[in-house]
Structure 1
Amino acid sequence: MTAQTAHTLINPNSKALAFQIYAFDDDSYFEALKNYNYYSIILVTKGKGKLWVDFSEYDFTEKGLMCFAIYQPFMIKADGEFEGLLINFHPDFFCIHRHQQEVSCNGVLFNNIYESPLVQLAEPEAQTLLNIVSELKAEMHNPELAQYELMVSYLKIFLINASRIKVNQNQLPKAFKTEKEPFILKTLQDAIEEHYKTKHSPGEYADLLNISARALNRISKMHFNRTLTNLIAERIIIEAKRELYLTSKPVKVIAYELGFNDEFYFSRFFKSNADVSPQMYRDTVGYARAEGIGGRDFEKN
C-alpha cells in the first residue's frame, strides 16, 4: 500500500491479532487470497471492482460492505481507485455465537450460504457505520478503565446496525422476488438445513424435492451462485467450525455427528473446503468457548 494506518490490539497470551482497524487506499493487500483465523469486515468508501469468495464471484461498488467468517477465503481486485476500512476481530475478542441473542449477526452478516456477503449502503447508512468506527479508533487509544467492554459495545453497535441494514434490504436471491421458482428455492434451503448432517449428495436432495439432480444443480448455480455440491459442503463446514470452536468434543465425535463414519475422511473433507485441518482450525481459533474457556486481556501493537 502507498499509505496505510493500522490500529491493532494483540492477545498477549497467544500473541495473535485480537482486534484491528486498517485503512487502505488501494487493492494491493487484497490481491492475494486471504484466509484469516478471524472475522473480517470491509467497508468500501471509494471504488468498485470484483470480489471472489468461496466458490463465487461478485461485483461491488462504492459504499459496499463485505463480511467474511473465520477462514472464509476471499480476494478483491479493484477497477481503478479503491479506498476503505478493514476491520478484523478474533473470536477470543468477540464471539458472535455466544452473543447471538444480543447481536444476531450470525446467519445474517456471517455464515449464510444462501446470500451474498455484500451489502450496498446508502450514504446515511455508510456514515453511521463510519462514525462507529471512529469511536472504536478513539477507544483503542484510551487506556482508561473498562476499555475492552466499551470497545466490544461499539463493535456490537456496528454489527447490529449492519445486520439491520441487510435485513431491511431483504437481500434474498432475486428469484424470490422475480422468478417462478421461489417455492423450490425455499424448499431446497429448508431441506439442506434439516438434512445436511445425514444427506451429503445432490442426488439425495433431488429425490427429496422430486426433481432431477441436473435441474436442481442448475437452480442452485443460478440463484445461490454455487453448485449444489458446494452449497451442501459449505453448510456442513459451518456447523463443523461451530462445533470445533464452541465445544471440546473430539474431532471424531464431531465427524460422526455430521454423518461421517471415517474421521480421516472428514478431516480431508474439512481441509479441502476450509483450506485448514480441523485441528489447526481449533488451535488457531480456539475451542470450548461454550464451556467457559477464554480471556479478555489485550495489548496495543
Structure 2
Amino acid sequence: MALSNYFESNYKMFGYVRIDDAVLHNINTGLYKMYIQVLYLPKGYKLTIDFNDYTTEESTLFFVSNNQYIQILETGSEEAHFIYYNRDFYCIQIHDAEVACDGILFNNIYNMPMTRLSEGEAAMIDHVYTQLIDELTIKESSQEEMLRTYLKQLIIRATRIWKKQQLGRLNEEPAKEIDFFRDFSRLVEIHFKDKHTVADYADLLGLAPKTISARFNRLDLAAPNDIIKDRIILEAKRLLCYSPYSVKEIAYKLGYEDPAYFNRLFLNKTGDTPSNFKKKYLLGKNIQL
C-alpha cells in the first residue's frame, strides 16, 4: 500500500507518494499529467520520457514538466519516490531563474531530464526526502513554507549536480554564458510554434544570428537551428501520438501554413513521415528517433 501525503491550499498543490503498482499505473496513465513531477528512482528502473529511453544504473532523479509524457516500463527492487506539484505551489519563486519551474532541470539545450547521483549525493537527497516526508505529517501553519523550502533544496542540489554532469566545457564559462544558453532554451520553449529561425531568436536576444551560431559552435554544442527544429519535432510527436489532430492540423498548430513543407521537415528529422511515425508508435514498434 502506498504512503501518500499532500498539501493543498488556495489552488496550491504539493504531494508525495512512494511508488507501488497502483501509483505506477497512475503515473503511466497520466493521472499526474497536470503537475510538475520529480521521480527519485533507484537502480533497475526503465522509463521513457518524450520518446527517449532511460535506464537507472544508480539512484537517479528525473524532473518532468507537465507538458512531457512519461512511461515507467520496468521497476527495480528498491523503494522509489514520487513528488508532484503545480506552478501555483512553487513557481512564485520565478525570480530564482535557474531553479524555477522553467529552470535548467526542466528546460535545457540538452533535453536531458536525468540527474545521476553518487552514493554521497544520494545520501544528501535522502536526507531532504526524509525531512520533506516528516513535514507532510505535521499540520502546522508554516507547513507550506517548509515544504517549499525542502523542494527548493532538492532542486538546488540537483541543479548543481546536473550542471557538473551535463555542461562539460560550458561549466567552465562565466555564469553569463550559461545564462545565455538557458535564455535561448527558454525562448525556444515559449515561441517555437511561431518562431522557426535563428534570426527570430536573435531579434528577441538583441544579437546577430551569426553571433548566436558562433557561441554554440565555439563550445561544440548543437546548432541553434537544430535545437529549434528538434523542439518543433518533439511537439509534433506529442500531438501525433497523444492528440486527435490530423497531420494537417498539427502542421497549422506548429505555425506551418504548408503541410507538405512540415511533412518534409518531419521526414528529414526522423526518417519517417508523420503518419508512419504515428502508426508505428501506436502499434508499439521500435521507432528510430
Specify if TM > 0.5: yes
| Residue identity (%) | 28
**Conserved 8 A contact 1:42-1:67:** yes
C-alpha distance in 2, partners of 1:234/1:74? 14
- Of 30, 42, 50, 1:45 maps to 42
- 1:230 matched to 2:230: yes
Q: Secondary structure at the match of 1:62?
A: coil
Which structure dedicates a bigger proportion of its chain to helix?
2
- Relative distance call for 1:56 and 1:102 in structure 2 (3 A) is closer
Q: Deviations over 1:93-138 (max 9, x none)?
A: 1107614248357442112252321111111111211211111111
Of 3, 6, 9, 1:5 maps to: 3
Distance in structure 2 (CA, Å) of the matches to 1:96 and 1:124: 31
1:98 matched residue in structure 2: 94
Q: Which runs of 5+ in 1 are unaligned?
A: 177-188, 210-219, 237-263, 271-301
Any conservation in 2 of the 1:63–1:121 contact (CA below 8 Å)? yes
Q: Deviations over 1:209-245 (max 9, x none)?
A: 8xxxxxxxxxx9x999x99633246699xxxxxxxxx
- Please say if residues 7 and 144 of structure 2, whose CA atoms lie closer than 8 Å, have aligned partners that are also in contact: no
- CA shift, 1:38, in A, is 1.7
Q: Could you say which residue in structure 1 is the equivalent of 2:63?
A: 67
| Contact 2:36/2:86 (<8 A) preserved | yes
- Residue deviations 1:2-41, cap 9 Å, x none? x311111223x45xx7001110145444443566222100
The amino acid that maps onto 2:230 is: N
> How far apart, in 1, do the equivalents of 2:79 and 2:104 lie?
25
Structure with bigger RCO (C-alpha 8 Å, 6+ apart)? 1
**1:165 and 1:235, CA in 2 relative to 1: closer, same or farther beyond 3 A?**
farther
* Contact kept in structure 2, 1:42 and 1:85, CA below 8 Å: yes
Matches within 5 A, 1:20-31: 20-26=15-21, 27-31=24-28
* Maintained 8 Å contact 2:109/2:227: no
Counterpart AA for 1:231: R
Find the counterpart in structure 2 of residue 32 from structure 1: 29
**Cα separation, 1, equivalents of 2:114 and 2:60:** 7
Structure 2: 5+ residue stretches without partners: 171-180, 202-208, 211-220, 237-248, 256-289
Q: Compared with structure 1, are the counterparts of its residues 234 and 265 closer, same or farther at alpha carbon in structure 2 (3 Å cutoff)? A: closer
